[in-house]
Amino acid sequence: MRILFAGTPEIAVPSLETLAAAHNVAAVLTSPDKVSGRGRKITPPPVKVKAQELGLPVLQPERLGAEARKEASRLNCELLVVFAYGRIFGPKFLALFPRGGINMHPSALPLYRGPSPITEVILRGDRRTALTVQRLALEMDAGDILRSRPYPLTGRETTGSLTADIAIEAAKELKEAVDDLEAGRVEGRPQDSSAATYCSLVQKNDGIIDWSKTAEEIDRMVRAYNPWPKTRTFWKGEPLVILEAAPVGVPEQESVGVPEQEPVDVPGKGSVEVPEQEPVSVPGKGSVGVPQTAPVADKKAASALSGAPLPGSGALLPGSGAPLPGSGAPLPGSAVPLPGEVLGVDKLHGILIQTGNGVLGVTRLQPASRKPLDFRSFMNGFSMGAGTLLGEKNES
């Protein structure tokens, strides 16, 4: 059975390599070369590079019109196999293949139909996805499902790391699907379109942080938009990229709340009560409540939220060994921190930043026109004290 393989990015390369070793891949259909980088260098897509290594003919039409159909028809392929090609196939093109077409989609279809299912599953905080092989249909990602294997997630994946892992596993599933088709032992099952959800193409500005979101939501953004477009905020009018971060606490379903009236022991201050929740007015955002029972993992995190340096963790002034005042939520009688406000530094959790619900610890970041830095190197080289307010329109 002669196959035309269609794909473009790195995620599709292992699938091409695996299919070419096990089946008769007659040619490869991929996107045109792009001009990229500061030197405006012409860069071929990764699938083209692999196809040339394998000695396979490569088709790179600008559009899937009459000329592209004529070129593909000369190949006399029976099956079209697609993984992340990047374009929609019309009925005339699909009609060229007696056995139709199949497509690998890394989601639990009908969930997350569209171009960015890996990013979407991280943004939504799902604990599993799936590797699904479906028949190509005229409606996007709506064809009958041939295979679907659940794929568990740890909850700490980035789009980059999950893409690399799925690339390997997806190749195995596509090969099995082609094996089954060739042997005539596959039956598709229709999708439940009433349960369908969709994802859209990721845009550069999707990575701008809204600090009124929860710490968990921002953490998911940091991981979902890594490696592109990266998650960023603004500091002194310049973009500040957040590369690695995590909520200071535990997942919501496992959270331990700070008791409402139980005093927290602060070294050198005795016992103080954690203040009750007070809504704070944020310009342009209305009232934002600072949760009294923000989830915490242990006493160290509880102390950070109480307004004291984390015991034994070393909340530090930049370049010194002194405790950094304000390294958590305020003590009674002081101001309530705003979303985006820097609370302090902790050697375990990094730079502590207040969000709309909970505290985010940033451990790796990148200032404008600088290389990426761990939080210690950043604090040694830049002046960002407690009380600094991060955000899109902040200029100070």
Express each pLDDT in 348-376 by its tens digit: 999 999 999 999 999 999 999 999 999 99
Q: Give the model's pLDDT for residue 39.
A: 77
For residues 327-344, give the mean pLDDT: 72
Q: Please report, for residues 97, 218, 341, 394, the alpha-carbon distance to residue 390 in angstroms, rounded to integers and kept in the order given.
A: 55, 14, 6, 6
The single-letter DSSP state of residue 170 is H
Please report which confidence band the pLDDT of residue 329 belongs to, taking 50, 70 and 90 as the band edges.
Answer: very low
Question: How far is residue 154 CA from its own chain's centroid?
Answer: 13
The β-bridge relationship of strands 34-36 and 41-43 is antiparallel
Q: Which amino acid is at 197?
A: T
User: Among 124-133, 308-317, 331-340, whose mean pLDDT is lowest?
Assistant: 308-317
Residue 149 pLDDT class (50, 70, 90 cuts) = very high
Which residues is 29 bridged to in the sheet? 6, 59
Please list the residue range(s) of the chain that carry CATH number 3.40.50.170.
2-195
Q: What is the mean pLDDT of the chain?
A: 83
Q: Are 168 and 14 in contact (CB under 8 A)?
A: yes
In the predicted model, is pLDDT for residue 313 greater than 90?
Answer: no
Residue ranges, CATH 3.10.25.10, the chain: 204-381
Which residues make beta-bridge pairs with 264? 272
Q: What backbone phi and psi angles, to 5 degrees, belong to 25?
A: -80, 110
CATH superfamily of 204-381: Formyl transferase, C-terminal domain (3.10.25.10)
Q: What is the percent of the chain where pLDDT is above 70?
A: 77
Q: How far is CA 280 from CA 98, 212, 276, 284, in A?
A: 64, 12, 12, 12
21-30, 124-133, 283-292, 357-366: which range is least confident on average?
Answer: 283-292
Give me the mean pLDDT over the 86-114 stretch.
97
Mean pLDDT of 234-258: 74
**pLDDT at res. 383:** 87
pLDDT at position 322: 36
Q: What's the rounded Cα separation, in Å, for the pair 76 and 218?
A: 50
- Nearest-Å Rg of the Cα atoms of the chain is 26
Residue whose tokens read 């971060």: 245
The stretch 261-289 carries a mean pLDDT of: 39
Question: What's the mean pLDDT in 67-82?
Answer: 97
State the architecture of 2-195 in CATH terms.
Answer: 3-Layer(aba) Sandwich (3.40)
* CB 341, CB 326: distance < 8 Å: no
The DSSP call for residue 256 is: B
CA distances from 39 to 34, 35, 48, 232 (A): 12, 9, 21, 26
Spell out where 248-285 has E strands. Answer: 263-266, 270-273, 279-282
Phi/psi of residue 350, each to 5°? 90, -150
Q: Quick one: what percent of the chain has pLDDT higher than 90?
A: 73
User: Per residue in 203-243, pLDDT tens?
Assistant: 999 999 999 999 999 999 999 999 999 999 999 999 999 99
Amino acid symbol at 306 = S
What does the pLDDT read at residue 299?
Answer: 38
- Measured distance CA(68)–CA(43) in Å, rounded: 21
Give me the amino acid identity at 185.
R
Question: Are the beta carbons of 141 and 134 closer than 8 angstroms?
Answer: yes
Q: What is the pLDDT of residue 185?
A: 86
pLDDT at 142: 97
Distance between CA atoms of residues 261 and 374, nearest Å: 37
The pLDDT value given to residue 334: 54
- Residue 38's pLDDT band, with cuts at 50, 70 and 90, is confident
Lowest mean pLDDT among 4-8, 157-161, 333-337: 333-337
Spatial distance between the Cα atoms of 206 and 159, rounded to a whole number of angstroms: 14
Rounded Cα distance between 146 and 161, Å, is 26
Cα 318 to Cα 381: distance, rounded to the nearest angstrom? 8
